[in-house]
Amino acid sequence: MFSLQTLASGLLAASLCVPVAAAPPFFNPFVRHNLAATLGPQLSSGAALYTKSDSDFAKHDERWTQWNAPTFSAVVEPASEKDVVATIQYATSNGIPFFAQGGGHGYSGTLSIIQNAIMIKLQTNFGSALYNAHDKSVSVGGGAKYSVLAEAAYAAGRELTVGSCPCVGAVGGALSGGHGRLQGKHGLGLDALKSMRVILANGTALDVSAENNVDLWWGMRGAGQNYGVVVSATFNTFPETPGAMHYDGELILDGTQLEEVFEILNEMVPTWPAGLAFDVLFAAFPGSLNPVIVLSMIYAGPKREAAKYTHRFAALKGSLMFSEHMYTWADLPFKAAGGSIAASCGTTKLRSTYSNNVRTFDPKVQRDAWNKYGEFLQAYPNANGTGVLWEIFGTQRVTEIPANASSYAFRDRVTMIGLLQFDYTDPSILPGIEAYGKAWRQQSIENSGWDDDKLYVYPNYARGDEPLDSLFGYEHWRIEKLRQLKKEYDPTDAFRGYHDVWSHPGKDHHGHSERGDLK
Ligand SMILES: Cc1cc2nc3c(=O)[nH]c(=O)nc-3n(C[C@H](O)[C@H](O)[C@H](O)COP(=O)(O)OP(=O)(O)OC[C@H]3O[C@@H](n4cnc5c(N)ncnc54)[C@H](O)[C@@H]3O)c2cc1C
Digit-coded pLDDT (tens) for 230-262: 999 999 999 999 888 999 999 999 999 999 999
Query: Quick check: 418 pLDDT over 50?
Result: yes
CATH number of the domain within which 351 lies: 3.40.462.20
Q: For ligand 1, is residue 296 a contact (CB within 6 Å)?
A: no
Q: CA 336, CA 502: separation in Å to the nearest integer?
A: 39
| Least confidently predicted of 5-19, 106-120, 303-317 | 5-19
In this structure, are residues 280 and 328 in contact, taking their beta carbons and an 8 Å threshold?
Answer: no
Q: For ligand 1, is residue 497 a contact (CB within 6 Å)?
A: yes
Q: What is the mean pLDDT of the chain?
A: 90
In this structure, are residues 364 and 447 in contact, taking their beta carbons and an 8 Å threshold?
Answer: no
Q: Where are the alpha helices (DSSP H) in 360-501?
A: 363-379, 396-400, 430-446, 469-472, 476-489
The answer to whether residues 217 and 251 belong to one domain is no
Considering the domain boundaries, does residue 181 fall inside one? Answer: yes
Name residue 355's amino acid. Answer: S
The answer to whether residues 156 and 268 belong to one domain is no
The answer to whether residues 139 and 115 belong to one domain is no
The domain in which residue 232 lies consists of: 129-239
Q: For ligand 1, is residue 219 a contact (CB within 6 Å)?
A: no
Final residue in a domain of this structure, among 239, 255, 278? 239
Please indicate whether residue 1 or residue 362 has the higher confidence score (pLDDT). Answer: 362
Question: Could you tell which of 85, 460, 499 is best to mutate to test the pocket of ligand 1, judged by most ligand atoms within 8 Å of the CB?
Answer: 460
Question: Could you tell which of 110, 120, 168 is best to mutate to test the pocket of ligand 1, judged by most ligand atoms within 8 Å of the CB?
Answer: 168
Strands 245-253 and 291-299: antiparallel
Q: CA 15, CA 2: separation in Å to the nearest integer?
A: 13
418 Cα: distance to centroid of ligand 1 (angstroms): 18
The answer to whether residues 265 and 137 belong to one domain is no
Query: Quick check: 96 pLDDT over 90?
Result: yes
The answer to whether residues 252 and 136 belong to one domain is no
**DSSP code of 97?**
-
The answer to whether residues 206 and 329 belong to one domain is no
81 Cα: distance to centroid of ligand 1 (angstroms): 21
Considering the domain boundaries, does residue 486 fall inside one? Answer: no
Query: Quick check: 479 pLDDT over 60?
Result: yes
CATH number of the domain within which 110 lies: 3.30.43.10
Find how far residue 377's CA is from the centre of its chain: 25
472 Cα: distance to centroid of ligand 1 (angstroms): 17
Query: Quick check: 419 pLDDT over 80?
Result: yes
High-pLDDT (> 70) share of the chain, %: 90
Predicted TM-score (pTM) of the model is 0.93
Q: For ligand 1, is residue 329 a contact (CB within 6 Å)?
A: no
Q: For ligand 1, is residue 64 a contact (CB within 6 Å)?
A: yes
Atom nearest to 461 CA in ligand 1: 15
The answer to whether residues 439 and 351 belong to one domain is yes
Final residue in a domain of this structure, among 76, 92, 121? 121
Q: CA 374, CA 320: separation in Å to the nearest integer?
A: 18
Where does the pLDDT of residue 509 fall: very low under 50, low under 70, confident under 90, or very high at 90 and above?
very low
Q: For ligand 1, is residue 252 a contact (CB within 6 Å)?
A: no
In this structure, are residues 328 and 244 in contact, taking their beta carbons and an 8 Å threshold?
Answer: yes
Enclosing H/E stretch for 28: none
Atom nearest to 230 CA in ligand 1: 42
173 Cα: distance to centroid of ligand 1 (angstroms): 4
The answer to whether residues 343 and 442 belong to one domain is yes
The answer to whether residues 63 and 138 belong to one domain is no
The answer to whether residues 200 and 261 belong to one domain is no
Q: For ligand 1, is residue 351 a contact (CB within 6 Å)?
A: no
Q: For ligand 1, is residue 98 a contact (CB within 6 Å)?
A: no
| Helix axes 476-489 and 214-223, enclosed angle (nearest 10) | 110
Digit-coded pLDDT (tens) for 362-409: 999 999 999 999 999 999 999 999 999 999 999 999 999 999 999 999
| Least confidently predicted of 19-23, 118-122, 450-454 | 19-23
Q: CA 297, CA 292: separation in Å to the nearest integer?
A: 16
204 Cα: distance to centroid of ligand 1 (angstroms): 24
Where does the pLDDT of residue 504 fall: very low under 50, low under 70, confident under 90, or very high at 90 and above?
low
pLDDT reported for residue 414: 80
Contacts of 375 by beta carbon, 8 Å cutoff, 6+ apart = none
pLDDT reported for residue 286: 86
HSE value, Cβ hemisphere, 13 Å, CA-based, for 430: 12
**Using CB atoms within 10 A of its CB, is residue 131 exposed (0-12), middle (13-18) or buried (19+)?**
middle
3-class SS letters over 195-250: EEEEECCCCCEEEEECCCCHHHHHHHHHHHHHCCEEEEEEEECEECCCCCEEEEEE
Q: For ligand 1, is residue 1 a contact (CB within 6 Å)?
A: yes
Q: For ligand 1, is residue 495 a contact (CB within 6 Å)?
A: no
Atom nearest to 345 CA in ligand 1: 1
The answer to whether residues 186 and 271 belong to one domain is no
DSSP letters, 480-510, are: HHHHHHHHHH-TT----TTT-TT--BEE-TT
370 Cα: distance to centroid of ligand 1 (angstroms): 29
Number of domains forming the structure of the chain: 3
In this structure, are residues 73 and 118 in contact, taking their beta carbons and an 8 Å threshold?
Answer: yes
**DSSP code of 112?**
G
105 Cα: distance to centroid of ligand 1 (angstroms): 5
Digit-coded pLDDT (tens) for 260-298: 999 999 999 999 999 999 999 999 998 899 999 999 999
Digit-coded pLDDT (tens) for 13-36: 222 222 222 233 333 444 445 888
The answer to whether residues 87 and 139 belong to one domain is no
Enclosing H/E stretch for 356: strand 350-358
Q: For ligand 1, is residue 101 a contact (CB within 6 Å)?
A: yes
Contacts of 463 by beta carbon, 8 Å cutoff, 6+ apart = 108, 109, 352, 353, 354, 355, 437, 518
Final residue in a domain of this structure, among 202, 220, 239? 239
